[in-house]
Amino acid sequence: MGSYVRFRFHGKLTRGWILGATEDIPARMLPVMRVVSAVRFFDAAMLELARWVAERYVTPLATVLDALSPPRVAGEEGAAVASDATQTAPAEVVEPILDGYRGGSALRDAIGAARDGSWILRPAPEHEASVVIELVAASLRAGRRALVIVPEAEPVPVTASALRSTLGDRVGLFVGGSPRQRYRRWLEIADGRFDVVVGTRSAVFAPLRDLGVIVVSREAHPALREDRAPYHHTRDIALARGRLGVAPPVCVLSALCPSSEAVALGLPEVIPAERRWPKVEVVRPGSEGRAPRLLEALRETRRGFVFAPVPGYGIAQVCRSCGAPAACAACGGMLRAEAGEIRCVVCEALGRCAVCGGSSFGVRRGGAERVEEWVSRFASVPVSRPSSPRLPDMDGEVLVGGPGSVRDLGVGALDLVAILDADIAGRRPGLSARERALSVWMEAVGWARPNGRAIVQSSSPSEPAVQALVRGNPDRFHARERERREAAGFPVGAPVFRVVGTEELEPAIDEHRPITALTTSLGGRTVCLLALEPGRVPAFGAAMRRLASTGVVERVEAEPHI
């Protein structure tokens, strides 16, 4: 099982996997020409997981099996794996932070006793890394391994580096690197070199045996959703690994603001017993975001972060040559001033007026570059807008950044975090736009712990996302989100698919009684966006596979961005 082999199919050399023995032998069999690799790419447990993924996301099993490991680099196979790693004992070096959490001891005991189950962990901002270390240590003490999933590789998350600092070479980092490096690390993991693996979303398939815990860090982060087939979400795969197999691990979904999908599962939650959230003040926006209260706070701030979600210096409003409203000559899109030039935000062409071809525009100022400019006039310390995520200098600095600047950078201990343009989140398209915004806001505001404060500029202080930020608790927000998304026809937790096919597709979809089905025509093809009851997915998937064999279905995409 799990062997990678070569055979000839319709006259072409084809590669595939051995799935195991069977009594169901067809009359005509194609012979295996040779085994391509001595490596076993999956075992029975991983094959069971792959079959579940193929059914849940309506994708070919071969596509899922291909996703279980990095692209093969033959030169790395058979190489000697170093075995002189220093084994670092974790038991005495981990502070028992979970004792101060409601349900914390129960979660740690469940891991130690190898009792399977799934949990939601909402750590205090300053505990994001340390609670993960404690969970991993509990698994190691029980004689089992641990898997930690982080959303990003650059910069290396503090959670990953903290685990490596605490547990030494028992931790293998599966983040970034060249194809050769990733395949080499995957082989080391499969060989049992590491007791703990920390990696990005593809690491959820890491071939770790005897898993005691899987931790998904910053579970609501959009980078944990795979944008290529099988279009899986790391959260769902981790939960499935926590259910399948003979001795499944405990699955922990960790985030300051869990996703609505995670909350809808009704899992037990582990949260601090006492309030551990900075003071958050909501003020009315001033001109260009310069609320008087914020300007006053900036004068007193030694280390701070200003969250400015809109990039650039401003938006072109009117052509100075002909007076026409500014629009891209190439595609009609909006023009933005950024880095000293004006470009289309859609096609990125240099700004030319769609009417006269002119290149001079009146610009309405507003964006991160403009924010950096006016913050520099009020702050008493240096102000910068760094190209890569980092925390302010310890000697005093105010940083300006957008969503890409909010990463797992560790304990911020900032004096001030300011959230500008909070009202934009409610105007952005997408069912999850508010939720994504709140998740980023909470991560940024968490940098004000333990002694700092936050200022949020909003014209709607009673808006659920803003109130969730003030309280440091998203429970009421999630309740409103469930109502809103159900009213839109896409309930939280309902599997969603986008199917492309012929005109025969629509009646075939209707047979499965979807909660919602939106159908349109595009380029001579029929496109259907639908939400299903979870129990109807297996029958729906089987029907889509049959229709694909007859040419009615061309493509099925699971959980598209809507």
Quote the pLDDT of residue 552.
94
Radius of gyration of the chain (CA): 26
Per CATH, 97-272 and 279-312+366-474 having the same topology is answered yes
**CA atoms of 164 and 132, how far apart (whole Å):** 12
Environment class of 534 (CB within 10 Å of its CB; exposed 0-12, middle 13-18, buried 19+): exposed
Neighbours of 10 (CB within 10 A): 6
Q: Is the pLDDT of residue 92 over 60?
A: no
How far CA 345 is from CA of 336, 341, 349, in Å, comes to 6, 12, 8
Extents of the domains making up the chain:
4-68, 97-272, 279-312+366-474, 496-558
**CA atoms of 235 and 219, how far apart (whole Å):** 7
**Among 149, 147, 3, 145, which residue's Cα sits nearest to residue 65?**
3
For 203-256, what is each residue's pLDDT tens digit? 999 999 999 999 999 999 999 998 888 889 999 999 999 998 778 999 999 999
**CA atoms of 221 and 225, how far apart (whole Å):** 8
> How far does Cα 92 stand from its chain's mean position?
33
In 128-205, alpha helices (H): 128-141, 158-167, 179-190
Evaluated on CA atoms 465, 468, 473, 478, the torsion sign reads negative
Quote the pLDDT of residue 79.
64
Q: Is the pLDDT of residue 82 over 90?
A: no
Quote the pLDDT of residue 529.
95
Neighbours of 538 (CB within 10 A): 12
Tell me, letter by letter, the H, E, C secondary structure of 324-336.
CECCECCCCCCEE
For 115-153, what is each residue's pLDDT tens digit? 878 999 999 999 999 999 999 999 999 999 999 999 999
**Among 289, 475, 251, 257, which residue's Cα sits nearest to residue 374?**
289
Cis peptide leading into residue 155 (ω within 30°): yes
- Give the chain's mean pLDDT: 91
Say yes or no: domain 496-558 is CATH 3.30.360.10.
no
**CA atoms of 517 and 360, how far apart (whole Å):** 46
Banded model confidence at residue 427, pLDDT cuts 50, 70, 90? confident
**CA atoms of 198 and 214, how far apart (whole Å):** 10
**CA atoms of 504 and 555, how far apart (whole Å):** 14
For 242-285, what is each residue's pLDDT tens digit? 998 778 999 999 999 999 999 999 999 999 999 999 999 999 99
**CA atoms of 20 and 358, how far apart (whole Å):** 67
Banded model confidence at residue 93, pLDDT cuts 50, 70, 90? low
Banded model confidence at residue 23, pLDDT cuts 50, 70, 90? confident
Q: Which single residue is written with the structure tokens 């975001």?
A: 289
Topology annotation, domain 279-312+366-474: Rossmann fold (3.40.50)
Close Cβ partners of 486 (under 8 Å, ≥ 6 residues apart): 492
Quote the pLDDT of residue 17.
87
Q: Which single residue is written with the structure tokens 């399948």?
A: 244
For 331-385, what is each residue's pLDDT tens digit? 999 999 998 899 999 999 999 999 999 999 999 998 999 999 999 999 999 999 9
**Among 442, 447, 445, 99, which residue's Cα sits nearest to residue 273?**
99
Q: Is the pLDDT of residue 523 over 90?
A: no
In 281-351, alpha helices (H): 292-300
Tell me, letter by letter, the H, E, C secondary structure of 363-421.
EEECCHHHHHHHHHHHCCCCEECCCCCCCCCCCCEEEEECHHHCCCCCCCCCCEEEECC
Q: Which two tokens stand for residue 464?
A: 């659920």
3-state secondary structure of 113: coil
**CA atoms of 545 and 534, how far apart (whole Å):** 18
Angle value at C-alpha 355, between 354 and 359, nearest 5 degrees: 65
Residue type at position 409: L
**DSSP conformation class of 258:** -
**DSSP conformation class of 79:** P
How far CA 290 is from CA of 363, 364, 366, 437, in Å, comes to 18, 15, 11, 21
State the pairing for strand pair 269-272/416-419.
unpaired
Q: Which single residue is written with the structure tokens 């991560």?
A: 443
Question: Are the C-beta atoms of residues 344 and 331 closer than 8 Å to each other?
Answer: yes
**Among 199, 240, 211, 204, which residue's Cα sits nearest to residue 146?**
211
Angle value at C-alpha 428, between 425 and 430, nearest 5 degrees: 110
Q: Which two tokens stand for residue 333?
A: 């899109």
3-state secondary structure of 147: strand
Residue type at position 471: R
Topology annotation, domain 97-272: Rossmann fold (3.40.50)
